[in-house]
Structure 1
Amino acid sequence: MKIEIWSDILCPFCYIGKRRLEKALAAFDHAGEVAVQWRSFELDPQANPTPGESQYARLAHKYGQNEAWARQMSANMEQMAAGEGLAFNFDTVVPANSLRAHRLVHLAARHGRQDAAKERLFQAYLEQGLDINDVPTLTQLAAELQLPAAEVAQLWVSNDFEQEVRYDEYQAQQIGVRGVPYFVFDDKYAVSGAQPTELFLEVLQKVWAEARPQPVQLAGPEGASCGLDGGAC
């Protein structure tokens, strides 16, 4: 089974959704036969935050509210995340453009480290207050992920993997993705948003069952027939 997930590092619901899906997979009997592929989605491709700007100021400006509103919204989000074992800290979040981070995730995929890269970047941004648009910071995170140093260095002096990011976003547009996280199971069923773990498990079981031949059921009692065990035939 294949699960494609469109998400942005900047999206707290994406990290929560990731954790809930992981819990569903832990309860799914066939998790070893599920392949997860992360797809890029930039919530704000033109983001160019003012140095030193807080996450609260950014949210207040984006939604036309005051910072008190932004702080309350963020506190609610921190509480939701805590329920999934995550320690969001919006006091330290550094607003950023996420394109470089998405490109790094694509590089990590080349080396079988895509999920680990996504996890590390979420943690860096939402829990540790690291700037995920800062090249030295991203280089250090890449080293933690044991990605080849030469390929990481090349990433920052080129447009490597930008085309892959744009293709992911094109695909999202084609299938009608308007918000993230967005999960697509075997190109058949979609789940939008950080849904409860129980719903993810239900979809996993449904997709698995539909992909496997099911024995037919007799519509009535058995009639006269010739069988493999002989009889009158």
Structure 2
Amino acid sequence: MKVEIWSDLVCPFCYIGKRRFEAGLQAFAHADTVEVVWRSFELDPNARPEPGRSVHESLAEKKGISVAQAKQMGAHVTQMAAELGLRYDFDRAIPTNTFLGHQLVHFAAHHGRQDAMKERLMAAYYTEGQNLNDLATLTSLAAEIGLDAEAARQALEAGTYANEVRLDEYQAQQINVRGVPYFVFEDKYAVSGAQPIELFTEVLQTVWNEAHPAPTVLATGEACDVDGQNC
């Protein structure tokens, strides 16, 4: 079973959604048959790095609210994340463009480390205040999960995986993805948002049942049963 997940590296609900999906997957009896593919999505492709500016200030400007209100929103999301063991630190987070980061995730995918790279980048942004638009930072994070830092640097400088990021985004447009995280199961079922853990398990089970239907019983007769009452 293939599950494709569109998300952005600086979307707080995407990291929460990742954790909830992982918990739902863990509760699924056939988890070892599931292939997870991370797809790129930029909430703001025109975003520019803003050194010295806080996430709170950027959010306040975008939504037309006060910085105090933006901080309250951040506190609410931080609490949601904490319930899943994630320690968000929006005071340290650096507003930035995620195009390079998405390219690095694709680079990692070509080396069998896509999920690990996605996880490391999200942790770096949300909990460590690292700049995901900085080449040295990105290559260092790649090295931390066992990838070749020099190969990663060359790929990012050359834009080797830029077209793969754009293809993901084009596919998102084709299926009308308007917000992330966005989960697609076997090209048939979609789940939008950081849904409850139980819902992810239910969807996984539904897709599995459709692909592995139980036989239809056409007739029953005398037989030994598991209760031992007939034999």
Q: Is the 8 A contact 2:58 2:95 kept in 1?
A: yes
Counterpart secondary structure, 1:19: helix
Shift in Å, 1:156: 3.2
* TM-score (norm. length: structure 1): 0.92
Counterpart secondary structure, 1:39: strand
Aligned length: 221
Q: Is the 8 A contact 2:25 2:201 kept in 1?
A: yes
Report 1:17-166 matches (<5 A). Answer: 17-166=17-166
Shift in Å, 1:186: 0.6
Q: Counterpart amino acid of 2:113?
A: R
Q: Is the 8 A contact 2:103 2:156 kept in 1?
A: no
Give the whole-Å Cα distance in 2 for the aligned partners of 1:190 and 1:96.
28
Shift in Å, 1:214: 2.3
Give the whole-Å Cα distance in 2 for the aligned partners of 1:188 and 1:62.
34
Give the whole-Å Cα distance in 2 for the aligned partners of 1:41 and 1:212.
32
Q: 1:70-125, CA deviations, whole angstroms, 9 ceiling, x for partnerless residues?
A: 00000000000001111001111010100000000000000100000000000000
Q: Is the 8 A contact 2:184 2:191 kept in 1?
A: yes
Segments of structure 1 that go 5 or more residues without pairing to the other structure are 223-233
* TM-score (norm. length: structure 2): 0.93
**Moved segments of 4+, more than 3 Å:** none
Q: 1:108-152, CA deviations, whole angstroms, 9 ceiling, x for partnerless residues?
A: 000100000000000000011101111111111011021123321
Q: Counterpart amino acid of 1:76?
A: H
Greater mean alpha carbon deviation, residues 190-199 or residues 48-57: 48-57
Give the whole-Å Cα distance in 1 for the aligned partners of 2:50 and 2:119.
26
Query: Against the structure 1 CA distance between its residues 60 and 217, is the aligned structure 2 distance closer, same or farther, given a 3 Å change threshold?
Result: same
Give the whole-Å Cα distance in 1 for the aligned partners of 2:201 and 2:157.
42
Give the whole-Å Cα distance in 1 for the aligned partners of 2:150 and 2:48.
28
Counterpart secondary structure, 1:122: helix
Give the whole-Å Cα distance in 1 for the aligned partners of 2:206 and 2:163.
34
Shift in Å, 1:185: 0.5
Counterpart secondary structure, 2:97: coil
Q: 1:36-81, CA deviations, whole angstroms, 9 ceiling, x for partnerless residues?
A: 0000000000001332111110000011111011000000000000
Give the whole-Å Cα distance in 1 for the aligned partners of 2:186 and 2:220.
37
Identity of aligned residues (%): 60
Q: Is the 8 A contact 2:104 2:156 kept in 1?
A: no
Shift in Å, 1:157: 2.2
State whether structure 2 residue 202 is matched by structure 1 residue 172: no
Query: Against the structure 1 CA distance between its residues 48 and 28, is the aligned structure 2 distance closer, same or farther, given a 3 Å change threshold?
Result: same
> Max radius of gyration: which structure?
1
Give the whole-Å Cα distance in 1 for the aligned partners of 2:150 and 2:11.
29
Give the corresponding residue for 2:190. Answer: 190
Segments of structure 2 that go 5 or more residues without pairing to the other structure are 222-231
Counterpart secondary structure, 1:38: strand
Alpha-carbon RMSD: 1.2
Give the whole-Å Cα distance in 1 for the aligned partners of 2:158 and 2:141.
19
Give the whole-Å Cα distance in 2 for the aligned partners of 1:179 and 1:54.
23
